[in-house]
Amino acid sequence: MLNLLIFGAPGSGKGTQSKFIAEHFGIKHISTGDLLRKEVSTNSELGHEIESLISEGHLVPDEMILEILFHQVNQIEDFKGVILDGFPRTLVQAESLIKEFDKRKWSVPLLVVLEVPEEELMTRLLERGKVSGRSDDNEETIRRRFQVYRNQSEPIVSYYKENNLPYASINGLGTIQEITDRLIQGITHHITKV
């Protein structure tokens, strides 16, 4: 079983890389951002609530995302592992995840952090905004998302380190292929170590 959390600031390449990693290791890919955008596209009341949070660069509440995520996780048949993309984003989410995995006797997910400097992230996200149609890919919202990442999400890295949980830091600069190769190498190194 291989469980991974692909972690990093907005624009660090989590979505792009997750797809390659999931395919390479034969595990399921779940993106909480995609799940939320799917709900938004249904035009439901919940979708409207979610859209206003996303477009302002805020996180959706922990209880809501935990319910959405575990609903999805529980549907995986013949569980071989999963790569979670965009989750966890708060300490509460990280702690709940580890508790739930432990309850199911699943291995503790490896935290894979994609490291990219903020100036590069801003350039990437503004470029993406020209074609993505995402309401949160504009400069003001991007700045808020960086702030939310630093304040609410980054403490997860310290939590992992302090509790001696499995962690890998990967340089997220270069071509898509170079980064994929580095990720596969880092993850494989972890698998052979345990």
Determine contact, residues 57/89, Cβ cutoff 8 Å: no
Nearer to ligand AMP, 67 or 181 (CB): 67
Determine contact, residues 33/193, Cβ cutoff 8 Å: no
Can you tell me which of 137, 145, 160, 187 binds ligand AMP, judged by CB under 6 A? 145
User: What is d(CA 143, CA 118) in angstroms, rounded to the nearest whole number?
Assistant: 10
**Residue 59 touching ligand AMP (CB under 6 A):** yes
In angstroms, give the least distance from the CB of 34 to ligand AMP.
7
Contacts of 23 (CB under 8 A, 6+ apart): none
**Residue 126 touching ligand AMP (CB under 6 A):** no
140: DSSP letter? H
Nearer to ligand AMP, 59 or 170 (CB): 59
Nearer to ligand AMP, 157 or 185 (CB): 157
Residue for token digits 């390659």?
20
Binding interface with ligand AMP (CB under 6 A): 10, 32-33, 36, 53-54, 58-60, 65, 86-89, 93, 136, 145
